[in-house]
Amino acid sequence: MLFEGIALDLPLTLMDSGQCFRWTRQGDRFGCVLDGRAVWLWNGDDGLHVDGDTDPGFLRHYLDLDRDYAAIAREYAQFPAARAAIERYPGLRVLNQPAWEALICFILSANNNVARIRGLTDALCRTYGDDRGGLYSFPTPERLADVREEALRALKVGYRAPYLIGAARAVLDGFPLARLRALPYDAAHALLLNLPGVGDKVADCVLLFGCGHASAFPVDVWMERVLREWFAMTCRSRAALRKQARALLGPHAGIMQQFLFHARRMEERHQATGNRH
């Protein structure tokens, strides 16, 4: 399969942007199990190549190929920091991941860095997912609900072990995870806070990356710095910062957040590198 003329920054979108933790890299190819099927992606001169028996419509949606990012950039013309961030990373996309996978991955993300979250996610998939030719599917709620807490702790998930089991059992007991996409943002956010291990930031990550709520605005230490330093916000709490950012940046606040998040991390990385020389 070929998405002609499409050029994504695959390392950034799939591996380095802190939104997804499931992809494996082999050279210039990136692999994952999506919708139960092994998929490999790579860029060519003619566009984005796909190896795998995957529905093209599903993959287009997952990779967010039909969103007009140039139009979104124009929405933020009055904000120099926002405009610069989205123009600096033209190959970045905000993925539309399955809500269940986003929920578990972002519960794992609490007090963790990207490399460690990726390692924990991989351990979960290898242990409780299905082998699809060397790539592993994500464990189902049914599978995780039956896992003993000690077994999860053996995978180094730590204090998050009961949260993972509790979230799986809540979904099996009828938590409306599939309905969050259609609910208003505030209602969906409030529902997610009822799940174990889910606070404001995790809830916003699930809504943005797993439920299509483009205005959801996760605020962590990086985004707090962005909002205070680049947008001169002075709210004391992260909850208040999130509310002000959503009001200021509008219906695509979450999309913009992803570009700002990466731009701020790269700025600090470059500063640290420069300071060592």
Q: What is the pLDDT of residue 270?
A: 59
Q: What is the pLDDT of residue 274?
A: 55
Q: What tokens appear for 55 in the block? A: 């529905």
Q: What tokens appear for 100 in the block? A: 């269940």
Give the Cα separation of 121 and 180 in Å (integer): 23
List the pLDDT tens digit at each of the 277 positions of the chain. Answer: 889 888 899 999 999 999 999 999 999 999 999 989 999 999 999 999 999 888 999 999 999 999 999 899 899 989 988 888 888 898 999 999 999 999 999 999 988 888 999 999 999 999 999 999 999 999 999 999 999 999 999 999 999 999 999 999 999 999 999 999 999 999 999 999 999 999 999 999 999 999 999 999 999 988 999 999 999 999 989 999 999 999 999 999 999 999 999 988 887 665 555 544 3
Phi-psi region of 221 (alpha: psi -120 to 50; beta: other; left: phi over 0): alpha
Q: 3 forms bridges with which residues in the sheet? A: 48
Q: What is the pLDDT of residue 177?
A: 96
Are 104 and 124 in contact by the 8 Å Cβ rule? The answer is: yes
Instruction: Considering the candidates 93, 118, 189, 201, report the single residue annotated as catalytic.
Output: 201
- Whether 201 is catalytic is yes
The alpha helices in the chain, defined as continuous H runs, are 10, 56-62, 69-75, 80-88, 99-108, 114-128, 141-145, 149-154, 161-172, 185-192, 200-210, 221-229, 238-249, 253-275
SS3 content of the chain, % helix, strand, coil (to 5): 55, 10, 35
